[in-house]
Structure 1
Amino acid sequence: MKRLLSLFLIISASGLLITGCSPALTLSQLFSPVTFTGYVLESDDATLTLLYRAEDAQEPVTSVFDLTALPQGPLPETGAEVKITLKTGTDPESLKAGDTPLPARKLEVLTASDAAEKAFYSLRADKLLAGMSLEEKVGQMFFARYPGPAAPEDEKAWQFGGTILFGRDFKDKNPDQIRAEINACQDAAKIPMLVGVDEEGGDVVRVSGNPALRAESFPSPQTLLQNGGMDAVTADAHEKDALLKSLVLNVNFAPVCDVSQNPADYIYSRTTGRDAATTADYAKATVSAMDSDGMGSVLKHFPGYGPGADTHKDFSRDSRPLETFEAQDFLPFKAGIQAGAGSVLVNHNVIEAMDPDHPASLSPKVHEILRDALGFDGVILTDDLDMEAITKAYGADTAAVQAVAAGNDMILSSRYTIEIPAVIEAVKNKTLSEDQINASVKRVLTWKMDLGLIEN
């Protein structure tokens, strides 16, 4: 009897298999229940699919669990963090090999879906990334200027992450025509696209400038504040969102967060025309409304345009001290970030106090400030690299590679047929790391998930 007991203990300690059980079943598995902790990907009355990261796994995995033995009750929502305990003695590997759902004995909700959302999106993005080629990843980093009739073919070829439409793309078109064009482009996308537009109100009204789409153009921020205060700002944001969503647009390149009280400034007419505190309130109200409507927002033009010249036409330097940015220009961006903005657009001004040698859009130092000092963890986007502040000093290929190296997650691009291959080549020759590409694409995918563009 003692000899048999000693042999039993030796087998248990060494983790050897028990004769007569499943080939992979150890003593510890026989007497200890197996648990899985992860996030609900989908569920029905009979099964639940869990997304989780297994120990030492490079990418997330999924498993399906049989719920029929559990007491009937409400199922956890998609994205909720849960723990599933299997029936004691179950051999998960044997069942997985046969595509059999694992028998759940207990289901516990650890974190509600809203609180677990960020971690859930992170795992889903990792799962998508694992199945993407380098070319597909780099394509996701480009917010391409809408190429008109060639859009579906270009999207099929390049798989860019987003496209932005301008006034010419809406001119003389009715809503049905616009929807049909955008949907045709989306149909060519392996991963649903961000589809954006500049609809600020006032000077910049790409959509409402077409009387077939709205009887009157949306008013400027200054007009809204003068006539109705923040209530008018909120109502205006909701109305814009409704119009854009009706046209299957999902990102508005707004609000303008630049602080300017000088009518002589290039950017003045597009701003609130008020002080930093009022502009911050405006940014918060606008982004909050957009977030509640599921409309993507883009805070622009970081780190603040101030008295800068028009970078569409020429180079511009800003000699103001860093303290001015910290006390004034950063405040609206901080307010928009705290309200849930998905993206921040970086301008092409040279901010001498931050980096005297590079435009902000190509400056690692400016991007470090946005990440570290302002705590932004969303998508950083360049202003259009086809603006002359960039094209007069850089080729399209060089600018694109420098933009990624500086820390941009997406490039607003008019010359993506040159810029995408340049970035791909830079990764292949180790000028850019694929880890950095992965981190940027993960932010892009997460933004798309947050907007409901990527289904389970």
Structure 2
Amino acid sequence: MNQLGQLVFTGLSGLTLTDEEKKFIEKEDIGGVIFFSKNYESPAQLAELVNSIQNLRKEYPLFICTDHEGGRVVRFKTQFTQFPPMLEIAKLDSPKLVFDVATIMAEELLACGVNLNLAPVCDIWNNDQNKVIWDRAFGKDHETVSKFISSMIRGFETNHLMSCAKHFPGHGNTLKDSHYDLPIVKKSLEDIRNEELQPFIKAVKARVDMIMMAHIIVEDIDPELPCSLSPKAHAILRNELKYKGLILSDDMQMGAITAHRGTGEAAMMAIRAGSDLVEYRDMAEAQLGLEGLKKAQKDKTIKAAEFQDRLTRIEEAKKAYFTEYKPIYIPDLEKKFNRKQNQQFVEDLKKKIAEFNSRA
């Protein structure tokens, strides 16, 4: 496994693969694909798209991922069970409920061939003016957030869905939104260790498969570079938290990155800093990112041993998780969606939340 394409997650333009997308995925041996709402119409269409992508694999299946957090961050709406935001669910103070939510999510995603969920959100919503995280978080303090992190990870992993804790080292105390701008955190590293890092420590103990790096500058870690491009931030994750799994960048097309650096340069910096995978929502940008990595390989900006380290970690994760890919049998899908017991579960959940809120 020596293709640098394995280090790249690419987005796709629509509901089916274009000839150009097929060629890119197959020729470059791309490591993974990320889906957004533009890629979804129905479970059957999604499963067919996944089958067509996995047909292009060289050795191991591709990571197929999406942001399926519940609440407002869900790419697949119709027919998928829609859950209230995690901030609301956490009010019921039941890790078992969160495990059950994760189980339903896992069953539905896996039915369509999605094998990695970019969740749970480990951020603490400790700044009321922060709207980018807000109700995506489980709570306003690290004890609350930590309590539910392992329930969600275990719910995914018991059902063989890979999980990804995000956004390291914590995006809940920022004012700016990294989709558009580069947030700066002025909190001391000691305070961050005692608060923001605690849910990530819990995620590592729960054996989360991936951790996503945030596009934020934490002045006390690295005043020059966002954590996603900073060797110092990656070193905290590897050396202090003793995390051995995969590190994924947040979307490299977010304003926090693109406003300051070219695509190829940013990809090189993320991988050199210690990430294993870089993610792009559009194929044209994924191509530029991959060119940047090839250039870094050619001019030895990234050493061969460093590339090999990333590729080995990816291969080991795929080997551990993915047996031979079996195409999804589309007629079977119907009975896996719109299940009465799932709809009843959500109704009961909403009722309990409404009762709680009326008492609070």
Please tell me the TM-score bracket, short chain as reference: 0.7 to 0.9
Residue 221 of structure 1 aligns with an amino acid whose one-letter code is M
Structure 2: distance between partners of 1:235 and 1:422:
42
Alignment match, 1:6: none
Moved over 4 A (4+): none
Which of these residues, 118, 139, 157, is aligned with residue 291 of structure 1? 157
Alignment match, 2:218: 351
Report if aligned partners of 1:205, 1:218 keep a CA contact under 8 Å in 2.
no
Residue 198 of structure 2: SS of its match in structure 1? helix
Which of these residues, 172, 184, 198, is aligned with residue 306 of structure 1? 172
The question of 1:419 aligning with 2:289 is answered yes
Structure 2: distance between partners of 1:262 and 1:417:
37
Alignment match, 2:146: 280
The question of 1:381 aligning with 2:231 is answered no
1:390/1:338 CA distance change after superposition, 3 Å: same
Residue 219 of structure 1 aligns with an amino acid whose one-letter code is P
Structure 2: distance between partners of 1:366 and 1:380:
12
Structure 2: distance between partners of 1:252 and 1:312:
20
| Shift in Å, 1:226 | 2.3
| Shift in Å, 1:158 | 2.1
Alignment match, 1:322: 189
TM-score, normalized by length of structure 1? 0.67
Q: Which is richer in strand? A: 1
Alignment match, 2:276: 409
| Shift in Å, 1:442 | 1.0
1:348/1:453 CA distance change after superposition, 3 Å: farther
Structure 2: distance between partners of 1:406 and 1:454:
32
Structure 2: distance between partners of 1:228 and 1:366:
32
Q: Summarize deviations over 1:61-104 as a string: whole Å, max 9, x none.
A: xxxxxxxxxxxxxxxxxxxxxxxxxxxxxxxxxxxxxxxxxxxx
1:337/1:176 CA distance change after superposition, 3 Å: same
Alignment match, 1:252: 117
TM-score, normalized by length of structure 2? 0.84
Alignment match, 1:241: 106
Higher radius of gyration, 1 or 2? 1
The question of 1:203 aligning with 2:67 is answered no
Structure 2: distance between partners of 1:320 and 1:453:
44
Report if aligned partners of 1:262, 1:273 keep a CA contact under 8 Å in 2.
no
Alignment match, 1:451: 321
Report if aligned partners of 2:88, 2:135 keep a CA contact under 8 Å in 1.
no
| Shift in Å, 1:168 | 1.3
Residue 180 of structure 1 aligns with an amino acid whose one-letter code is E
Structure 1: distance between partners of 2:172 and 2:46:
35
| Shift in Å, 1:153 | 2.9
1:291/1:434 CA distance change after superposition, 3 Å: same
The question of 1:194 aligning with 2:59 is answered no
Q: How does 1:26-425 map to 2 (within 5 A)?
A: 129=1, 132=2, 136=3, 138-148=4-14, 149-150=17-18, 151-170=21-40, 173-190=41-58, 191-207=60-76, 209=77, 211=78, 213-214=79-80, 216-227=81-92, 229-266=94-131, 267-308=133-174, 309-413=176-280, 414=282, 415-425=285-295
Q: Which is richer in helix? A: 2
Residue 251 of structure 2: SS of its match in structure 1? coil
Report if aligned partners of 2:90, 2:139 keep a CA contact under 8 Å in 1.
no
Structure 1: distance between partners of 2:232 and 2:311:
21
Report if aligned partners of 1:291, 1:340 keep a CA contact under 8 Å in 2.
no
Structure 2: distance between partners of 1:369 and 1:454:
35
Q: Summarize deviations over 1:199-258 as a string: whole Å, max 9, x none.
A: 001110112x2x2x23x5222112222246212101000000000001110000000000
Q: Summarize deviations over 1:339-365 as a string: whole Å, max 9, x none.
A: 111100001100100000001100000
1:405/1:319 CA distance change after superposition, 3 Å: same
Structure 2: distance between partners of 1:229 and 1:279:
12
Structure 2: distance between partners of 1:371 and 1:338:
13
| Shift in Å, 1:381 | 0.7
Larger RCO (alpha carbons 8 Å, 6+ apart): 2
Q: How many residues are aligned here?
A: 315
Residue 310 of structure 2 aligns with an amino acid whose one-letter code is S
Q: Summarize deviations over 1:401-445 as a string: whole Å, max 9, x none.
A: 111111110001231111112111211111111111111011111
1:310/1:274 CA distance change after superposition, 3 Å: same
Residue 195 of structure 2: SS of its match in structure 1? helix
Q: Summarize deviations over 1:9-61 as a string: whole Å, max 9, x none.
A: xxxxxxxxxxxxxxxxxxxxxxxxxxxxxxxxxxxxxxxxxxxxxxxxxxxxx
Structure 2: distance between partners of 1:371 and 1:146:
31
| Shift in Å, 1:400 | 0.7
Report if aligned partners of 1:263, 1:269 keep a CA contact under 8 Å in 2.
no
| Shift in Å, 1:140 | 0.4
Structure 2: distance between partners of 1:398 and 1:180:
35
Residue 218 of structure 1: SS of its match in structure 2? coil
| Shift in Å, 1:450 | 2.3
1:263/1:229 CA distance change after superposition, 3 Å: farther
Structure 1: distance between partners of 2:205 and 2:74:
26
Report if aligned partners of 1:260, 1:271 keep a CA contact under 8 Å in 2.
yes
